[in-house]
Every structure is written in structure tokens, then in C-alpha cells.
């Protein structure tokens, strides 16, 4: 019986941080409300060089034009290509493509594709049809 109580308590501790967040010094349950009508970025694609950064600014439209406290979260689909801070500051760290996702409340989501090209190593491209092996 004690093992069952311990298991239930540990399950609650694991779930609690995922279902609430702190907004303006108080906790909001279940990621906030359904009061977000839409979320968007002014750009949906950005090309950055390794070492470059950009600040993404989400535009949140609330239902009934009533702003309410909501939980927000930033995610990257590949942290080897680009990282994102809790404030939407994106830094290119490696070549490739990824998506930056912004979540607002329970219903708002916006995406921005990030492309980071490979660094030119200064070599020359082979002439088509010629072998590069000597």
C-alpha cells in the first residue's frame, strides 16, 4: 500500500510542472486559457549564417480582444542547428534546417523555419564529369 501511495505521489510530481506555469508571479493551470485566437510571426522563414542571431516576435490575438495571462513556450526542432531562448532569441549554431515553435496558452501555435547553410570551406568544386581522385 505504501508503494502505491509513493507511486501516485511521484506521478503527480512529474505531471504538475507540465500542466502549470508561472505568469506575472502567480501560477496558471493547464497552460492558461483557451482565450488565444491566433499566434503568428511576421516571418515564417529565416536564413542565418552560423553565429548569427535573430529576435522572433510573436503576435498574439486574443478572443474578444481580452488579454489574459497565458503560459508561453519556445521550442526548437533541432538544437544542433538553432537554439532559442525563453524570450524568442534564436541563434544559429550549425548547418541544416529546423523549426522554431512558439506556444501560447492551450490553443496558439506559430512556426518559423530556420535555414543555416554549410560554411564554405574555401575549396573548389570539381568540374562536372571529371574525377576528383588522382
Give 130's Cβ-side CA count (13 Å radius).
Answer: 6
Distance between CA atoms of residues 11 and 94, nearest Å:
37
State residue 114's pLDDT score.
98
Expressed as residue numbers, the domain containing 40 is: 32-116
The tally of domains found in the chain comes to: 1
- Whether residue 27 lies inside any domain: the answer is no
- Whether residue 73 lies inside any domain: the answer is yes
Low-confidence ranges of the chain (pLDDT < 50): 1, 4-19, 26, 30-31, 130-132, 134
Q: What is the CATH number of the domain that holds 50?
A: 2.60.40.1080
- Whether residue 3 lies inside any domain: the answer is no
- Whether residue 125 lies inside any domain: the answer is no
- pTM of this prediction? 0.68
- Whether residue 81 lies inside any domain: the answer is yes
- Whether residue 85 lies inside any domain: the answer is yes
- Whether residue 14 lies inside any domain: the answer is no
State residue 120's pLDDT score.
74
Burial-class residue 82 by CB neighbours within 10 Å (0-12, 13-18, 19+).
Answer: buried
Cβ 109 vs Cβ 102: under 8 Å: yes
State residue 123's pLDDT score.
52
Amino acid at each position: 500500500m505504501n508503494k502505491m501511495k509513493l507511486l501516485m505521489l511521484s506521478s503527480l510530481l512529474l505531471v504538475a510542472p507540465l500542466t502549470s506555469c508561472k505568469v506575472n508571479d502567480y501560477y496558471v493551470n493547464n497552460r492558461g486559457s483557451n482565450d488565444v485566437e491566433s499566434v503568428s510571426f511576421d516571418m515564417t522563414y529565416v536564413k542565418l549564417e552560423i553565429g548569427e542571431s535573430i529576435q522572433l516576435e510573436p503576435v498574439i490575438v486574443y478572443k474578444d480582444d481580452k488579454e489574459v495571462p497565458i503560459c508561453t513556450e519556445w521550442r526548437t526542432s533541432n538544437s544542433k542547428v538553432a537554439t532559442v531562448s525563453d524570450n524568442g532569441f534564436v541563434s544559429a549554431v550549425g548547418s541544416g534546417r529546423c523549426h522554431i515553435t512558439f506556444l501560447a496558452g492551450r490553443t496558439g501555435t506559430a512556426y518559423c523555419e530556420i535555414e543555416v547553410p554549410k560554411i564554405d570551406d574555401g575549396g573548389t568544386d570539381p568540374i562536372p564529369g571529371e574525377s576528383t581522385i588522382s
